[in-house]
Structure 1
Amino acid sequence: MKKVLSLLVIGLVCYACATVPLTGRKQLAMVPSEEIQPLVNEQYEKVKKESRILTNTLDGQKVVQVGQRIAQVVESYLIESGYSDLVESFDWEFNLIESDQVNAWCMPGGKVAFYTGIMPICQDENGIAVVMGHEVAHAVASHSRERMSKALVQQFGMSVISTAIGQNPTLTQQIFYQSVGIGSEIGMLAFSRQHELEADELGLIFMALAGYDPRVAPEFWERMSQGGGEAPPEFLSTHPGPDRRIERLNENMPKAVEYYQASQTVNN
């Protein structure tokens, strides 16, 4: 019996695995996108209603333009790479929110928010692209869904998850709030350092595909780590240390520069 159960669990794990684009990393994907997206939409609208939206300002339009440009090339890349199903799950929206917080986030499905506090560190569209690429990468790599899946496994075990989700609709909602956030805290719960480094790697490629020079990324993260001479911003509270992050960025830079140069050839 133990052997049969083990085989069932292994089969469920394999069935519930997905592959992260570009990196090829295998991840748990126990929660269907259609279960998550209504919660995402509800919470994103809640954040917008409770915040002052500055998307029609000059900075807000820069956020929208950079976001749309990156989203377009990301979707094209994913379709060419056989991830059409993932593309269908995106409904992109980009907003700038008035807040002193040095932060930005992208929820599952492509709901993005930048806070005005991060804009001085971005400085220009290239800096915005560094952050945008990184945050979009979290959505493309389904990091929130992976975190939800791990939480479900820890709470219920592998063998009963599918039944638990199907029979208890509020379960997905509870795990969503625990894994993604709620209200003003949405999208702000910490990703693992593995997720952050993976988002850095993907983000470099995404900004390069969109025609933004990835070589500005180390400079941006240096500015971010300095935090204007004060304590590092909350955006970095669980991120890799600046030295480790920049080391990894430089390791991935040659590949990103190739994508950037190719994008310049196409655009010219």
Structure 2
Amino acid sequence: MGEVAPVIQSQQTQSPITFRLEIVNSRSVDALAFAEGTVILSEAFVSRLALDRAHIAFVLAHEVSHILMQHERQTLTSALAWMAPLPTSSAADIYREMEDRYFQMDTYLSVVAHQTEFEADEIGLALAAMAGYDPRRQLEFMQTLTNRGSQQSMLSTHPDPSLRLGRLRDHLPLAVRLFERAQGQP
């Protein structure tokens, strides 16, 4: 995580999380984060999109943002709050209820998941800018995703890349100021 690590550590006010980066070579995984501090990055993803150091810094900062903001906990809490207790009926009734809830929960939780992705994009943009990476490069990366078209499943946790790009554009002025400050500019 190189230059991004000191910035991430400086943003932790509670008990610090020990982050660990694992590099895998999987076509089915791009990048993801686990609540305990592990970030997974796929070499296949880096190669497929021809990511450079700046792009990788933004991907890692995005994933670390999920951990810092405890997005996994927020999502699970939302799921538990939404679910009503299962009826004490027959096994067939319980099975049917679970099937019905699966798609209802996905619809409900996709709103939560999309919000956490937007938040991780915005925080990741700021963290990487503070680490000295030009935030305009993040928008370049998101534009690449937008140009490739959405290849996401119906059940994806990620919003459409064009929506993510639009929101990042809104946050670009602040990120540019953070980047300039990191570069020693007033």
Equivalents in 2 of 1:156, 1:73: separation in Å? 41
Indicate the residue corresponding to 1:146 in structure 2. Answer: 74
Distance change in 2, residues 1:192/1:122 (3 Å): farther
Aligned to 1:39: none
User: 1:94 is paired with a residue of what secondary structure?
Assistant: strand
**Superposition map of 1:18-97 within 5 A:** 67-78=1-12, 83=13, 85=14, 88-97=15-24
4+ long deviations beyond 4 Å: none
The reply to whether residue 124 of structure 1 matches residue 52 of structure 2 is yes
For residue 109 of structure 1, the aligned residue among 22, 36, 51 is 36
Report the Cα offset of residue 118 of structure 1: 1.3
- Conserved in 1, the CA contact under 8 Å of 2:146 and 2:162? no
Aligned Cα RMSD in Å?
Answer: 2.6
Q: How does 1:177-192 map to 2 (within 5 A)?
A: 192=113
Tell me the secondary structure at the aligned position of residue 95 of structure 1.
strand
With over 3 angstroms needed to count, the CA separation of the structure-2 counterparts of 1:208 and 1:101, relative to structure 1, is: same
Contact 1:226–1:232 at 8 Å: present in 2 too?
no
Aligned pair 1:243/2:150, yes or no? no
Structure 1 unmatched ranges of 5 or more:
1-66, 158-188
Question: Given the superposition, is the C-alpha separation of residues 148 and 213 from structure 1 closer, same or farther in structure 2, using an over 3 Å criterion?
Answer: same
Report deviation, 1:248: 0.8
Q: What are the Cα deviations for residues 209-247 of structure 1, in whole angstroms up to 9, with x where unaligned? A: 1111111112111222344x7x6266x944222322111
> What percent identity do the matched residue pairs reach?
33
Letter of the 1:105 counterpart: L
Report the counterpart of residue 63 of structure 2 in structure 1.
135
CA distance in 2, matches of 1:195, 1:74: 18
Aligned mates of 1:142, 1:238 — CA distance in 2: 15
1:126-178 alpha-carbon deviations (Å, 9 max, x no partner): 01012111111111111001112222323478xxxxxxxxxxxxxxxxxxxxx
Return the TM-score normalized by structure 1: 0.53
Q: CA deviation at 1:74?
A: 1.6
Deviation for aligned residue 1:192: 1.3
Mapped contact 2:9–2:16 kept (Cα < 8 A): no
Q: Secondary structure at the match of 1:90?
A: coil
Residue 194 in structure 1 maps to residue 115 in structure 2: yes
